[in-house]
Amino acid sequence: MRIAVCGKGGSGKSMISGALARQLAQRGHQVIAVDADPNPNLGISLGVDRETVETMKPILNALLDAGHTHNDPKPLAEDLLDHYGVDAPEGIRLVATGKIERPSDACLCCGSHNTTRQFFGELADVDRVVVADLEAGLNDLIWAKPGANDVVLAVSEGSEKSVEIARRAVVVAQELGVTRIIGVANRTVDEAGFARVAAALGVAEMFSVPEDRAVEIADQQGVAPMDADPSSPAMVAVSELADLIVKQ
Ligand SMILES: Nc1ncnc2c1ncn2[C@@H]1O[C@H](COP(=O)(O)OP(=O)(O)OP(=O)(O)O)[C@@H](O)[C@H]1O
Ligand SMILES: [Mg+2]
């Protein structure tokens, strides 16, 4: 199974991706976490220590350093995962596809978006789950190109702009033929707020993750919310989201 997590900047994509990956791993799934953000921070939400996150290589620049050129066949995603991935808690393998350290060196047509496409599209998803924390906005969703067998989480907090981007993400996912699109209203404080997001997204499956002070505090301390307090309301909600996702 492959899960693409998209939405506006700050909507909670990384928090949900990290906690969801942990929850799925706890259920016995082999999980690959793909950080597609050019400014990667999924590692923190997953519970990877800062030093390890810092050592993660930007794949495109690393390949260029190793003498790889535009004309060479692209290395296999599985090999890149072995080479450039790092171990995260609960047996999760984390790879960062979005980061480019030296844009002057990089061929942008095979740059971060295309590497994200390769990881999301080519990593075998039989017997394992790929969770991709996409760059804010819609561009990465188009590049990742999820299909009929994939799951898209359209994440929104309550602001009108956030809801609008999640709504457009739903339209893009539908256009790509994704049949399982789950709207996630993050940081909900009441039923009315949830209903407003649900009405705007208009998807069959809607999910609520409550506003949770424990998540904010964990973020301020630079620790994963799952490590800070797995029983906090948002973590319990993401656990239920994991159950919902694997139910089918
Ligand atoms: N349910 C929640 N309750 C309280 N705070 C939350 C909740 N979800 C997310 N946050 C806070 O909102 C901020 C943004 O979350 P996060 O980094 O996951 O968003 P993002 O969509 O990945 O942002 P970006 O696009 O910048 O990567 C963080 O400070 C996080 O702690
Ligand atoms: Mg993020």
Q: Closest ligand 1 atom, CA of 9?
A: 25
Domain residues of the chain, as ranges? 2-247
Nearest CA to ligand 1 atom 9: 12
Confidence of residue 137 (pLDDT cuts 50, 70, 90): very high
* 174 Cα to the center of ligand 2, angstroms: 23
Nearest CA to ligand 1 atom 14: 10
pLDDT tens digit sequence for 116-134: 888 898 888 888 999 999 9
For the segment(s) 2-247, the CATH number from 3.40.50.300, 3.55.50.30, 3.40.50.620, 3.30.70.150 is 3.40.50.300
* 72 Cα to the center of ligand 2, angstroms: 32
- Tell me the C-alpha distance between 218 and 76, whole Å: 36
> 202-212 burial string, b = 16+ CB within 10 Å, else e?
ebeebbbbbbb
Q: Closest ligand 1 atom, CA of 136?
A: 25
pLDDT of residue 111: 67
Residue with tokens 């804010």: 136
Considering the entire predicted model, what is its pTM? 0.96
